[in-house]
A and B are shown apart, each in its own frame.
Chain A
Amino acid sequence: MKNLLEHMGIEPERLHFSWISSAESTKFVDVATKVTEAAKSLENKEKKFVKTKPKVA
């Protein structure tokens, strides 16, 4: 999935996968921070794949 999104030109910073056990709250905080930082690093880039036009049935 990630590979194809990247192939299409979505930045890799936009999709993250992780594996955290329910006891690993520290890891959760850690990954959450990293994901946010990655997303913030894209702040100057235009968002893609956003549907701007209204839905048509």
Chain B
Amino acid sequence: MSDKNPKILSFLCNWCSYGAADLAGVSRMEYPSNIRVIRIPCTGRMSPKFILAALRQGADAVWVSG
């Protein structure tokens, strides 16, 4: 697969980064469209399994943000 458009899976905390992403959208800011967001209730919900599962299923990169 051509990686010109890498798939980046991001795990965003509902209360922090997801809010920031929302605000960025509301403020009509531009950011790369390679990011696919999964909202998690809290970064504490994160597990190493998720990262491995993402990589296994073909994500180019994983971004965890609290």
- Per the CB under 8 Å rule, do A and B touch in the complex? yes
By a beta-carbon cutoff of 8 Å, the part of chain A in contact with chain B is: 1, 5, 10, 13-29, 31-33, 35-36, 38-40, 42-44, 47-51
Which single residue of chain A is at the shortest CB-CB distance from B1? A47
5 closest Cβ pairs, A-B complex: A22-B19, A43-B3, A28-B20, A25-B23, A25-B24
Known: A49-B55, A49-B56. A27 touches B62 (CB 8 A): no
The reply to whether B52 and A49 form a contact with Cβ atoms under 8 Å apart is: yes
CA distance A32 to B3 in the complex (A): 17
- Please give, as numbers and ranges, the residues of chain B lying within 8 Å of A40 by CB-CB distance: 3-4, 6
B29 touches A29 (CB 8 A): yes
CB neighbours of A23 from chain B (8 A): 19-20, 23
